[in-house]
Amino acid sequence: MIDWFYSVSLTVSVISGVWAVALGLFKRKPSLLSLVPLALVQLLLVIQLAISISLVILGERAKQDTVEFFAYLIVALMVPLGAGFWALIERSKWSTVVIGVGALTVAVMLVRMQQIWLGY
């Protein structure tokens, strides 16, 4: 993982998550205000996947377990998709909260992926 890209991804995930949870608690239904930040989180994860594959091809490896790192990354890619799908199916304020929880879940997974990559 590249440190600056990890920091950007983590920041965007946390801000998106807190934003969507706040919108949900203010009884806002899912809209572009909550779905666009989630889409940005998804985009950053796809870029992270491309970066990680490139790093592994170039010979770098996670300090702990490269397979575990990619398992976390693949599951993290599924979380925003699931939250977004839920929000589009069930249009309620709680769906907006689910979007926020999904983005915050990605943030936690990013922290764990960084730990696996650096060997903490």
For residues 19, 33, 3 and 49, what is the CA-based torsion angle, rounded to 10 degrees? 130
So what's the pLDDT on residue 115? 95
State the chain's mean pLDDT as an integer.
95
Q: Which domain holds residue 95?
A: 3-118
Residue 120: which pLDDT band, with cuts at 50, 70 and 90? confident
The Cα 109–Cα 106 span in angstroms is 5
What pLDDT, on the 0 to 100 scale, is given for residue 1? Answer: 82
> Into how many domains does the chain fold?
1
Task: Give the closest residue to 64 by CA, choosing from 113, 106, 10.
Answer: 113
Contact 100, 106 (CB under 8 A): no
CA 41 – CA 8 distance, rounded (Å): 10
Question: In this predicted model, what pLDDT tens digit does every residue of 8-66 receive, in sequence order?
Answer: 999 999 999 999 999 999 999 999 999 999 999 999 999 999 999 999 999 999 999 99
Place of tokens 């915050």: 104
* Rounded mean pLDDT, 94-115: 96
Stretch 81-92: mean pLDDT: 92
